[in-house]
Amino acid sequence: MKFYISTKGIRRVTISNEDGKGSAKTTTTGTGAGSGRRISARTVFPVVVVLGIVLPFLFVRIAILMLESAAVCSSLECAGLRFFNGVDTSLELRDELIRALVEANDGDVNEGAGSFNELVKEMTSNQDLKAFAFKTKSVLSQLERKVQLARQQESVFWHLASHGVPKSLHCLCLKLAEEYAVNAMARSRLPPPEFVSRLVDPTFHHIALLTDNVLAASVVVTSAVETSINPEKLVFHIVTDKKTYAPMHAWFATNSVKSAVVEVKGLHQYDWSEEVNTGVKEMLETNHLIWKQYYNKEKDLRYTQEHSTYLEALRPSSVSLMNQLRMYTPELFPDLRKIVFLDDDVVIQHDISSLWELDLNGKVIGSVFKSWCGDSCCPGSKYMNYLNFSHPQVSSKLHADHCAWLYGMNIFDLEAWRRTNITETYRHWLKLNLESGTTMWNPGVLPPALIAFEGQVHPINSSMLVSELGYRHQSEEISREKLEAAPIIHFSGPAKPWLEIGFPEVRSLWSRRVNISNKFIRRCRITG
């Protein structure tokens, strides 16, 4: 039997046996002659190409519309309308998201996801905008708390590092004290007898330092001598405390300064009157009580600029004997008429002999006001940054917007000072601040000095001094040209150049003045 189907269409079915005895024939009706035509490859290929291009586009478009509609459309009908009429609901989605964020901002924060990955995981399974807003707020609040805590810890660690004594500096003092004890040369008289007359001669240029830091004092003296046009006219008066006197004396006795004269004197060697002794003791006690009262105040644990200021005010230098005694400069140098007062964290880069020729016009102190900031006050250098002008006694005395003059490099007309009551005024305001519960200013030497010297400050050209090199944000803003052009640079701030936290970009300006060839410097591993 044979079974046959025509390949041109089912038009005919033929069944027959092999011996030809019988047959069956079925014929189907066609649609006409065209129904039997074969579809050619030329027709199929363009259709396939077009569908291959169009179908992926349609799939992507539908998928995007469905995703965008998920938050504002709950049915396929909505998505279908968007597909056919092209209506954009992005504005509706934005408004809905804004409402959810506003509601979350006003609501309480619940425990949220521990990380961004967890947040994404939760939100991919829940597309509720309100839940998304609350979860996001919770995550951001947790991150903000972590950042605040990290900043607070950084400021505390910075505070601790800033007032610590490096091992190398402690080693230097011990080695020099030992040298003072065993070496007669280290105990030799300073200055030598032939130069003693220069200590009170007004024709010489007198520089005063109150410090207990041997290394810092050596840098100040070395830099001043090396940059001076007439170093033989310089006379250095170094005043230190009893514990530092031996190493300080040993250093300058064994490291003679070319041409210049150096005097090292300990506070225990002064024979002050009972009145001066009583005044100094009262001033130190009052400052200690202010510091203690301020220390015991409860402070917000969140990191703020106030928190940073609070920690800086707690630095030991705020109540340091060396810092406080500058208010008794006329008593420290009773035979001098005029003196340039330098902090131990300065470096002299160019000759400063012009300072002694400056006419203060009857004022007591000459000082720089604006440092490196041109015609405007440097950041944080206005009276309002040091004093509390909500206190009526402060606001009635000073103007909040005035620039504060700077410590670090000052010229004192000691004869004019002796004709005033500046020292007594300073002590009086210290007592007022203590009685007010330390509400007038934070602990420190400068705030009460701004009041005591009010009306007695003569401005010095700002180009003479670049300060605040111990603060990162300030030091980064100062151009290298201004740094190198300034006769004096001051590392005011916590990051002193002899500390590990000192900034490398400016520390080299100080360290290159360190005498690294000295045997004690090498033994204590002090690097330049």
DSSP state of 181: H
Backbone angles phi, psi at 412, to 5 degrees: -110, 125
Beta partners for 516? none
Q: Rounded to a whole number, what is the distance in angstroms from the first to the last CA of the chain? A: 112
Backbone angles phi, psi at 209, to 5 degrees: -130, 130
pLDDT in tens, the chain (528 residues): 444 444 444 444 444 444 544 444 444 444 444 444 555 656 666 666 666 676 666 665 666 555 555 544 444 445 454 445 554 556 665 666 676 666 656 666 555 555 666 666 666 666 566 666 676 777 777 777 778 777 777 766 766 677 778 899 999 999 999 999 999 999 999 999 999 999 999 999 999 999 999 999 999 999 999 999 999 999 999 999 999 999 999 999 999 888 899 999 999 999 999 999 999 999 989 888 887 777 666 554 454 555 556 666 666 666 678 888 999 999 999 999 999 999 999 999 999 999 999 999 999 999 999 877 777 788 788 999 889 999 999 999 999 999 999 999 999 999 999 999 999 999 999 999 999 988 898 777 889 999 999 999 999 998 999 998 988 777 677 888 888 999 999 998 888 999 888 888 899 999 999 999 999 999 999 976
**pLDDT number for residue 119:** 62
- The secondary structure of 269-316 as a DSSP string is G----HHHHHHHHHHHHHHHHHHHHHHTS---SS--HHHHHHHHHTSG
The C-alpha torsion from 349 through 355 and 356 to 361, rounded to 10°, is -170
**pLDDT number for residue 23:** 47
**pLDDT number for residue 316:** 63
If DSSP states are collapsed to H, E and C, what string results for 40-80? CHHHHHHHHHHHHHHHHHHHHHHHHHHHHHCCCCCCHHHHH
Pairing relation of β-strands 338-342 and 409-413? antiparallel
H-only helix segments in 191-241? 214-227
Angstrom distance (rounded) from CA 146 to CA 115 = 12
Q: Is the peptide bond before 191 cis (omega within 30 degrees of 0)?
A: yes
Percent helix, percent strand, percent coil in the chain, to nearest 5: 50, 10, 35
Class at the top of the CATH hierarchy for domain 165-524: alpha beta
Q: What number of residues does the chain have?
A: 528
